[in-house]
Amino acid sequence: MLRWVTGAFILAGLTVAAVAQTPQLSPEEGEQGFVPLFNGRDLSGWQVIGAPSWKVEDGVLVCTGEGGGWLRTDKQYENFVLRLEYKISPRGNSGIFLRATERGNPAFSGMEIQILDDHGREPNKGSSGAIYAAVAPAKNMSKPAGEWNRVEIICSGRWLVVTWNGAEIMRVDLSDDSIDTGGHPKLSQRARKGYLGLQNHGARVEFRRIRLKELP
């Protein structure tokens, strides 16, 4: 009996631990060719640039907001589908970097898709889902601070498509030089291959289920 009870406690502990770990990849996504970029345990596959303010808590990637800088992938990517979920703190600010280079400001060497605590506000070039300082989203789909948001970003050649909480908010031809980038490099002049990254902008922000499918 003692052996059975001990085994039951061990099994229960493993079950609780499994529940605590957020699944990083669904079986369907695995069949579609997606791979997890975050393993839910540590920062393997990522490099901290700037302040060491990144950690893993209960299967979630957390930026505590001290200092500044960003977290970038070890690898560079050109054409891909990126999916992730994030949760921002009140008055928080962060971003998702795409095709960023090792040197220079990743928001402008590549692109920054803005993350902001701005639920209910009118969209602009600094809103959640915007290409920062370049293209405003069609609508602001961000949820209130403290709630999880779902993001899908497709980069394919000159095209960028962004979906936020199930709604397509942007479809941009990156070769269109009529886009006003506010004095920053035109989108057509920016890197077409680079690192993916997450911004530390001095606020607590959490990420989970970061997964990617590379495209031809």
Q: Is residue 14 part of a domain?
A: no
Is pTM beyond 0.95? Reply is no
Q: Is residue 171 part of a domain?
A: yes
Q: Return the C-alpha torsion angle 61, 103, 130, 86, nearest 10.
A: 0
Q: Give the domain range for residue 142.
A: 24-214
Strand order in the sheet with 93-100: 46-50, 69-77, 194-200, 93-100, 111-116
CATH classification of the domain holding 59? 2.60.120.560
| % of the chain at pLDDT higher than 90 | 88
Q: Is residue 184 part of a domain?
A: yes
User: Which H or E element spans position 106?
Assistant: helix 106-109
* pLDDT band at residue 22 using 50, 70 and 90 as cut-offs: low
Q: Is the pLDDT of residue 46 over 70?
A: yes
Q: Is the pLDDT of residue 10 over 50?
A: no
Q: What is the mean pLDDT of residues 150-170?
A: 98
* pLDDT band at residue 20 using 50, 70 and 90 as cut-offs: very low
pLDDT at position 16 is 38
Rounded Cα distance between 13 and 25, Å, is: 22
Cβ(194)–Cβ(77) under 8 Å? yes
Q: Is residue 34 part of a domain?
A: yes
In sequence order, what are the residues at sequence separation of 6 or more whose Cβ sits closer than 8 angstroms to the Cβ of residue 42?
A: 56
